[in-house]
Amino acid sequence: MKKKLLGMVVVAVVAIVAGYNVYISQNETKLSDLVLANVEAFAWGGETSGSYYLHPCPTHAGAECSSKKYDEGNRCAKLTYC
């Protein structure tokens, strides 16, 4: 009888720990607008000291254009590849 009770307690503890781990892993961290803007700025390369900037290619979806000058109006001016 004691072994059966001990086995049930062990199973219950394992189930509780597993459930808690699933609950913790499902909590999503919400990023603020400022953090998202910073991530986007780094992704666009606007704050880089390098000689090239990468921009989305207007003619090929998923491709990137490389330009020597960052230009808001025409993102792919003076392309090296697209």
Predicted confidence (pLDDT) per residue in 13-44, tens digit: 999 999 998 888 877 677 788 887 778 777 76
Residue 81 in 3-state DSSP?
strand
Confidence of residue 6 (pLDDT cuts 50, 70, 90): very high
Q: What is the pLDDT of residue 67?
A: 64
On whether the CB atoms of residues 46 and 70 are closer than 8 A, the answer is yes
Residue 65, Cβ density class (10 Å: 0-12 exposed, 13-18 middle, ≥19 buried): buried
**Mean predicted lDDT score pLDDT of the chain:** 73
Q: What is the pTM of this model?
A: 0.34
